Each structure stands twice: as C-alpha cells, then as structure tokens.
Amino acid sequence: MQVLAQWKLAGAPVEGVPAGLAASCARVGHDLLAEPVRLPGLRWWAGREGTLPGILVGLRTDEGTRFGSRVVPDDDVPAMTVGLAEAVQDHLAGYEFIQWPSCPGHRHPMRPSVEPDNAWWTCPASRRKVSVIGQLPPA
C-alpha cells in the first residue's frame, strides 16, 4: 500500500488528498477533538492500494493501531462526511468504553445523517438534528 499522507485530526493534509475528502476529515476530526476518545496520538492517514478505485482513509494511533475504509472522492461533501463519520463510529465501537459522539441526555451515541445541504449528528431515538458534523461544542 502507498501512504499518501498523514495529518492531525483538525489539520490539513499534504498534497495527494482531494479537497472534498480533506474537508470531510477536518469536520469529523473537529468533532473527535470536541469529544475526545482518549486514544494516544490519533491522526488521519490516507493511501492507495493497488489499482482499486478510490482512496483508503482512516485513523491511526501512536501505538500503530490503524483502520481505513475506501472512499471514492466526489463533490458531495455532506455524503462523504457522513460515510466517514459512520466508518469512524464503527471502528471506535470496537474499543471498550468508547461511545462516540454521545447524544445529549441519552445513553446512546448520535448517528450521522445527510440532508440535502449538510451532514448532521442526529438522535437515533427522536431523529432530531443535534449538531452539524464539524460543529460539535466541546464536551
């Protein structure tokens, strides 16, 4: 696999990562910092594998733990943001005691959802839009 870039959660990647994908990562990264998950050295990475279409993008830690999911970058940033947020949630669910991001007043995490113009964190019980992804207030 060819690694294209590694960068901070809310930072900008070096060349090699399409702008829309970088924007999606920045939005999800902001929310990871707003409600920290306490994994050491958490940062983004992106790479290509063989001739398969798209880019692998995901998170890695200082301990070397890494996950990635294939993304085919396009101009639909809200949809890419929701897909990336879902992949991050699925990965974090594998860690003990991590439920991210917490739904205010409930014991479950919020779910990402896409509206025609934006990506949102929503309450799965009430379906209420709680926050735009990338704008979670600090916990």
Distance CA(27)–CA(49), nearest Å, equals: 25
pLDDT of residue 129: 95
The 10 Å Cβ neighbour count of residue 88 is 23
pLDDT digits (tens, 9 = 90+) for 61-99: 988 888 898 988 887 999 999 999 999 999 998 888 888
- Residue 55, classified by CB atoms within 10 Å of its CB into exposed (0-12), middle (13-18) or buried (19+), is buried
pLDDT of residue 65: 82
pLDDT of residue 106: 94
pLDDT of residue 29: 95
CB within 8 Å of 139: residues ≥ 6 apart: 34, 35, 36, 102
pLDDT digits (tens, 9 = 90+) for 15-74: 778 889 999 999 999 999 999 888 888 999 999 888 888 899 999 998 888 889 898 888
Query: Which helix (H) or strand (E) is 119 found in, with range?
Result: strand 119-122
